[in-house]
Amino acid sequence: MSIDRRKFLTLSGLSALGLAGAPAVRVFGQDTTDVAQDTTPAEPAQPEQPRAPLVAQRWAMVIDINKCVAAEGCRDCALACHKVHNVPDFDNPKDEVKWIWKESFEHAFHDQEHAHQSEKLRHATLPVLCNHCDDPPCTRVCPTESTWKRESDGLVMMDWHRCIGCRYCVAACPYGSRSFNWRDPRPHIDEINKSYPTRTRGVVEKCTFCDERLARGQMPACVEACKEKAMIFGDLEDPESEVRQVLRETFTIRRKPGLGTHPEIYYIV
């Protein structure tokens, strides 16, 4: 008898519903981002030794624009991220989905822009991504709690099974960090990573600071891919962490700090 994953999930959900109504709601509503959505079953676990999860009280990132500018035209962070997270490539700005991308200084910090900006910054492109704000406006507006701030470590999470695709979070994000699946993304993924869910059309997605990799003891894909070591990732609550050390010693700026969202991505200019 052939039964695919989707049917199995539906059937088990229905039988749960038959057994007890209330728990079934929880089954459907749970954070199921770790379950591959509508894809073929996950590959068997990688043979390497399982590592202890990386944990923090408050994950944060520092990006050194100088190092990034030195590697002109480099897109390693975006390529690595989009590959492991099955981010589709639509090749047109209208349907585009992106989690992390290189943006000009003028656009990323367009309230800091002036006519006599240094040559370096005028031509600089730097990575922008979800800021994992301490007070995220996107989670505040979500009518279904499909996106929320994880209290344990501050990550702004997404539940693609619960999202109704109203795009209120997209309107609320001051950084343009959220993308909507205007069309079915799957035909536009070059090579599907079977250990990570693909999304369906009609839901919003964004960077999650690689919560799935942290759980496996790995650093975020962008951090790992950056040969220039321009991205530093760590625990903001730990005074000994590298991010705290860098923040202590270097002048850093954040995007649109005046809006009170408290973004947790810091830039060294």
Partner 1 sequence: MLEKALSGSRQYWTWVIFLFVLIGVGFFFYLRQYHEGLGITGLSRDVTWGFYIAQFTFLVGVAASAVMVVLPYYLHDYKAFGKITILGEFLAISSVIMCMTFIFVDMGQPFRITNVFLHPSPRSLMFWDTVSLGGYLVLNVIISHITLNSERKGIAPPKWIRPVIILSIPWAISIHTVTAFLYSGLAARPFWMTAILAPRFLATAFAAGPSLLILLCLILRKFTRFDAGYGPIQKLAQIVTYAMAINVFFILVELFTAIYSNIPHHTMHFEYLFLGLDGKSSLVGWMWTSEILALIALVLLINPTTRHRQSTLVVACLTVFGSIWIDKGLGMVVTGFIPNPLGTVTEYMPTFPELMISVGIYGLGMLLITGFYRIALSVRKQIPT
List residues near partner 1 by CB under 8 A. Answer: 25, 28-29, 93-97, 103, 106-108, 110-111, 137, 140-146, 162-168, 170-176, 179-184, 200-204, 259-261
Cβ 214 to partner 1 shortest distance, Å: 25
Take residue 16 and report the two structure tokens written for it. Answer: 């749960």
Cβ 163 to partner 1 shortest distance, Å: 7
Q: In the Cβ-directed half-sphere of 223, how many Cα atoms lie within 13 Å?
A: 19
Q: Specify the residue for token string 């910054």.
A: 121
Q: Which is nearer to partner 1, 74 or 203 (CB)?
A: 203
CB contact set of 1 (below 8 Å; sequence gap of 6+): none
Cβ 91 to partner 1 shortest distance, Å: 13
Q: Which is nearer to partner 1, 42 or 259 (CB)?
A: 259
Please tell me whether residue 17 adopts helix, strand or coil conformation: helix
- Phi and psi (nearest 5°) for 18? -65, -35
* 133 neighbors 264 (Cβ within 8 angstroms): yes
Strand 252-253's sheet: what is its strand order? Answer: 231-235, 59-64, 265-268, 252-253
Q: Which is nearer to partner 1, 204 or 210 (CB)?
A: 204
Cβ 121 to partner 1 shortest distance, Å: 15
Q: Which is nearer to partner 1, 109 or 233 (CB)?
A: 109
